[in-house]
Structure 1
Amino acid sequence: MATTMGRRERKKAQTRQALSDAALRLFSEHGYDGVTVAQIADEADVSIATLFAHVPDGKEALIFDDGAERRVWLVAAVRERPSRQSVLEALRRCMASRGPFTDDLPPELMRKRDLIVSTPALREYSRKLWVASEGALAEAIAAESGRDPSDMTVRALARYVLEIPELAGTEPDPLVAMNAIFDLLESGWPESPVDEPPTR
């Protein structure tokens, strides 16, 4: 039975990968809006029913994983950080090595990253995957700071961090924009710009 299940899971993974590869290829060649679900299914040599069985959320989900891996490395960044490193610094370093914030990616991942950043529907789906990690990240932050996971400030911090890829990812220099947001989160909002005296 274990061998049969293993084979079945491998087959599902192969089909899922074929769909992802086909979608990325077609989106890159024709643009996201110029490609239909039927074309992707045909390119991957599967039926439309099979496509939706593997990816019920539709074509915008085809080039993403389910978000589980994202949750794992976000939580690990918090829990496994060096003893003197703050939670926010750990998350900053973690994000800086991924997605729109690094150019140190294999060509295939760079192509996928650029497609996501330039396509509103894919950016929005990516944002949903980020925000879906809020509960897990809030729990990790709470555990490391001695607070209750339901504390609004913990949940807010987790949400703010998870919104950074969408906010900064399309800026001319995403890494600079990301760092500016983390600087703000670490220091708090100033009463007035630091280089201008307050007005009365």
Structure 2
Amino acid sequence: MEGHRERKKARTRRALLEAAVRLFAERGYEQTTVADIAAAADVAPRTFFAYFASKEDVLFLQAGERERVMLEAIAGRRPGEPLGELLSRMFEAMVRSLAEDDELGFALSPLRARLMVAEPALRARGLTLMMETQPRLARALCEVYPGLDPVSAGAAVGSFMGALAAAGMVAQEQGGSEDDVLAAGRRGIEVAVNGLASLDRP
């Protein structure tokens, strides 16, 4: 019985996600209400709030999970692993996490990128999340690289996240496939890592 309930919850959650993604793309973010999303998913509005705290949470659904994956990758630094290699491995861990979930990750990503350009509230939310996450990642790097000072750790995290976001967004704007976006992310990290080589310690 528990398995059935969990499957039903997963189906409802996905139905809400799919409805939100479709309506945001068709009508626009501001023009789409929670009631619209709920109706499209054939549930009551209160059901929406059982899964999401707000409309914008649909677009930032995976933020907490992505941070957890990155922190776990940092905590699992291998003996003697250079900083650049760790950051590359951290990206691959995020890619695996995206592939394993069933939350429309790649469908949400290009839509979120477009809406963040057009909607100030979403842009502010995205920047806030990034500003909250980066210091935690920097502190985690300092813990596993005792010789790395906090300022350099912050610069490393900023280079990584900035290069990843910008390269991926350009690929999306060019109409790239999922593979193209991933390749762009890897290229962005490669550029960032080459610039970070001076921070590696023997």
TM-score relative to the length of structure 1: 0.63
Q: Which has the higher helix share?
A: 2
Q: Does 1:72 align with 2:35?
A: no
Equivalent positions of 1:1-200 (< 5 A) are: 15-32=12-29, 34-52=31-49, 54-56=51-53, 58-65=54-61, 67-95=63-91, 98=94, 108-120=104-116, 121=119, 125-146=125-146, 151-172=150-171, 173-187=184-198
RMSD: 4.1
Deviations 1:128-177 (A, max 9, x none): 4444323432232111112699x344344334433343333322445433
Judged with a 3 Å threshold, the aligned counterparts in structure 2 of structure 1 residues 154 and 13 are, in CA distance, closer, same or farther, namely: same
Conservation of the 8 A alpha-carbon contact between 1:117 and 1:123: no
Alignment partner, residue 176 of structure 2: none
d(CA) in 2 for partners of 1:166 and 1:123?
13
Judged with a 3 Å threshold, the aligned counterparts in structure 2 of structure 1 residues 110 and 77 are, in CA distance, closer, same or farther, namely: same
d(CA) in 1 for partners of 2:84 and 2:63?
21
How far apart are residue 74 of structure 1 and its match?
A: 0.5
Partner AA of 1:86 in structure 2: P
TM-score relative to the length of structure 2: 0.63
Unaligned runs of 5+ in 1: 189-200
Q: How many residues align?
A: 180
Over the matched positions of the two proteins, sequence identity in percent amounts to 29
Judged with a 3 Å threshold, the aligned counterparts in structure 2 of structure 1 residues 177 and 138 are, in CA distance, closer, same or farther, namely: closer
How far apart are residue 40 of structure 1 and its match?
A: 0.8
